[in-house]
């Protein structure tokens, strides 16, 4: 069975359901995350660093940045969830029963609702994950941990080695001692705006329930109200 066929078989398997997209900002440390045990979750990049701390396990995992994947091969291989990995890193992480390769080099559209044909990276893994969630058929995506603020030097998309602890993610070890690509907030916001339009055209919604998040693109909500938690 080809990779494209395998991905197509996943399409709409979660029609009319809700998913939590867990980004990796430090605001995760301000949340009570036990509710994730009752939710379908998509994790991204180095979320494996928080699985024990936050006591949840994602159903799906998305990583498209070559640098992040190269730094995390052993940890990604060890994850026992459905994993969506950029085709560019196929040599590091071959396809298997849980691992799917997604073409990211020449996406067929700016937003790909059918990821069997490719996916647009959109300058942020969160955008890639939103396309995955759409392909899977989710009616509502609730984003947490998308702080959308970073401390960095240099221009957007430049590669820099991070000496010292990482202030931009939930774990101080996230990129500590590693090279990472500076964020591009302007292009990320452009991508998010496209995702919102595509979701709402199909009667779906994206809710940003990040604690103190700086992104203004999506509808905002208090995560405690969204998930029925006590104030």
User: What is the per-residue pLDDT across 136-169, written as a single tens digit (0 to 9) for each?
Assistant: 999 999 999 999 999 999 999 999 999 999 999 9
Quote the pLDDT of residue 231: 65
Report the pLDDT averaged over residues 197-211: 98
- Would you state the structure tokens that stand for residue 130, as one six-digit string? 């939103």
Long-range pairs, 85-92, Cβ under 8 A, ≥24 = 86/121, 89/63
How much of the chain exceeds pLDDT 90, in percent?
A: 96
> Is the pLDDT at 4 greater than 90, yes or no?
no
> Is the pLDDT at 1 greater than 70, yes or no?
no
pTM metric for this prediction: 0.97
Q: Which of 144, 188, 195 is nearest to 22 (CA)?
A: 144
Containing 43, the helix (H) or strand (E) segment is: strand 41-44
User: What is the per-residue pLDDT across 80-102, written as a single tens digit (0 to 9) for each?
Assistant: 999 999 999 999 999 999 999 99
Tell me the domains of the chain and their CATH numbers.
Answer: 3-226 (3.90.1480)
How would residue 104 be classed by pLDDT, with cut points 50, 70 and 90? very high
> Is the pLDDT at 33 greater than 80, yes or no?
yes
- Would you state the structure tokens that stand for residue 146, as one six-digit string? 């998308």
Q: Average pLDDT, whole number, for the chain?
A: 96
């Amino acid at each position: 069975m080809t990779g494209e066929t395998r991905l197509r078989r996943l399409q709409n398997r979660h029609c009319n359901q809700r998913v939590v997209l867990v980004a990796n900002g430090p605001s995760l440390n301000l949340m009570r995350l036990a509710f994730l045990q009752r939710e379908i979750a998509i994790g991204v990049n180095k979320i494996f660093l928080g699985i024990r701390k936050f006591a949840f396990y994602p159903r799906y995992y998305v990583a498209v940045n070559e640098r992040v994947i190269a730094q995390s091969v052993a940890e990604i291989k060890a994850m026992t969830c459905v994993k969506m990995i950029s085709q560019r890193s196929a040599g590091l992480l071959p396809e298997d029963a849980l691992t799917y390769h997604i073409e990211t080099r020449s996406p067929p559209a700016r937003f790909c609702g059918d990821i069997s044909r490719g996916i647009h990276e959109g300058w942020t893994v969160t955008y890639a994950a939103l396309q995955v969630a759409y392909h899977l058929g989710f009616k509502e995506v609730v984003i947490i941990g998308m702080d959308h603020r970073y401390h960095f030097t240099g221009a957007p998309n430049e590669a820099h080695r991070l000496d010292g602890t990482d202030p931009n993610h939930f774990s101080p070890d996230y990129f500590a001692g590693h090279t990472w690509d500076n964020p591009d907030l302007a292009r990320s916001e452009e991508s998010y705006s496209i995702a919102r339009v595509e979701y709402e055209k199909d009667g779906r919604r994206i809710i940003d329930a990040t604690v103190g998040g700086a992104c203004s693109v999506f509808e905002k909500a208090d995560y405690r109200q969204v998930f029925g938690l006590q104030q």
